Structure 1
Amino acid sequence: MIVISAASGALGRLVVDRLRTRGDVVAAVRDPARAPEGVQVRRGDYDDPASLREAFDGAARLLLISSPELDPARRISQHLAAVAAAKDVRVGAIAYTSFLGADTTPTGVTEAHHATEKAILDSGLPYTMLRHPYYSEAFLPRVSGGELTSSTGGRGLNTAFRSDLAEAAANVLTGDGHLGRAYDFTGPLWSYPELARTLGLTYREVPDAGPGPMSWLNTQVRMGALERQSDDLERVLGRPAEHVADRLRR
């Protein structure tokens, strides 16, 4: 039996869809009314450890999808409760959707992921770390009047689509040779100027619109922080990951 935590979220639903024909799948969700249809459902609330033990009980494999909580302290508490529950009921193995750099950077975006990876290692459970990049969906450009604009300084982005990350997770959960591994998933490197040329558009660099999450992300891109590359995602998928240009063409 494979249990998917946070299965009512965007990534969780995609993973469940890809596992429907691969075995016995259980969707663990905070609110069963919002669970994916067509699979067994159990209540598993990150803020309710008892519900997590019930949700994870009997799992040969568990996909622990990271909480959407933004506060690092609360997110860490939720994740540690989930790892403790998995250990208590002796799940066969745990795969965790971590973030690139969580193994080396214990602060900022990776703080909760670093703490969770450590807890999983300390638990003694067989594991696989799935370190995600930023999702491509958050960076899809808006095109107006044949022009594409951004505030990224022309630097590269290693983002990946949720659909590819979900398929990779499904492959790890149902395949052999993944235990004890940590995968650094990145999509094909792309940039907004390159994207404009590919699509036959004009590119223009514009100033940041002001403070906010995207402004912070644009700063990270301009610093080259999203240019790290790995072939892990392609190898786990068994094919190239989808390029942003191909998604936009469709």
Structure 2
Amino acid sequence: MILVSGAGGALGRLVAGELAGEPAVHDGVVLGTRTPRSAAERRVDFDDPSSLDFTGIDTLVLISAGYGEDDVVIARHDAAIGAAEQAGVRHVVYTSLSGDGDHLPYALAHRWTERRLQGSRLDWTILRNGLYAEFLAGIAAPDRTA
């Protein structure tokens, strides 16, 4: 069974959609979201450790917890990885940044999460996706108040 966290977000929806189209995994995908809207979705809220029940999950696709101060994102990722370890998840796939991020001042939470996974007993895959387009658009957009 595969659980995709952040299934309500843009990247999570894309990943879930791709997995759902694969006949070998179609029925084995669980959508994790803070606000489930259907029976096909499970409540997964990194800010609420009681919602991080990964029992029966073999692979956790850990979509980065996104926006927040580094300490908040680190706490979210730590809670998810700890819950995965406790539930016996075998493999975590984590969406990080391109490169190892050591040269990027805004990549602290990603560096920490990668090292946390590498030091865990879990099998892991780190995806090196680039920056999200909406982030780039947000920092490049003109100030609408001017």
Residue 112 of structure 1 corresponds to: 109
Alignment partner of 1:31 is 2:35: yes
Aligned pair count reads 137
Check 1:120–1:138 CA distance in 2 against 1; reply closer, same or farther (3 A cut): closer
Look up the SS of the partner of 2:128 in the other structure.
Answer: strand
Q: Map 1:1-250; keep pairs closer than 5 Å.
A: 1-22=1-22, 23=25, 24-33=28-37, 40-52=40-52, 54=53, 56-102=54-100, 104-105=102-103, 108-136=105-133, 213-214=139-140
1:101–1:110 contact (8 Å) kept in structure 2: no
Q: How far apart, in 2, do the equivalents of 1:121 and 1:131 lie?
A: 15
Give 1:104 shift: 3.0
Q: What is the root-mean-square deviation in Å for CA atoms of aligned residues? A: 2.1
- Which runs of 5 or more residues in structure 2 are unaligned? 142-146
Gaps of 5+ in 1: 141-211, 216-250
Counterpart AA for 1:48: D
| Offset, 1:29 | 0.6
Shift of the alpha carbon at 1:108? 2.0
- Structure 2 CA distance, aligned partners of 1:103 and 1:127? 17
Distance 1:111 1:137 in 2: 20
Query: TM-score, structure 2 length as denominator?
Result: 0.84
Identity across aligned pairs (percent)? 39
Report the CA distance between 1:138 and its aligned residue. Answer: 5.6
Deviation string 1:120-158 (CA, Å, 9 cap, x unpaired) is: 111120000001112346668xxxxxxxxxxxxxxxxxx
- Hey, what's the Cα distance between the residues in 2 that align with 1:62 and 1:129? 12
Matched with 1:158 is: none
SS at match of 1:123: coil
Q: Secondary structure at the match of 2:111?
A: helix
Q: TM-score, normalised by structure 1?
A: 0.50
Whose Rg is larger?
1
Stretches (4+) displaced over 4 A:
136-140
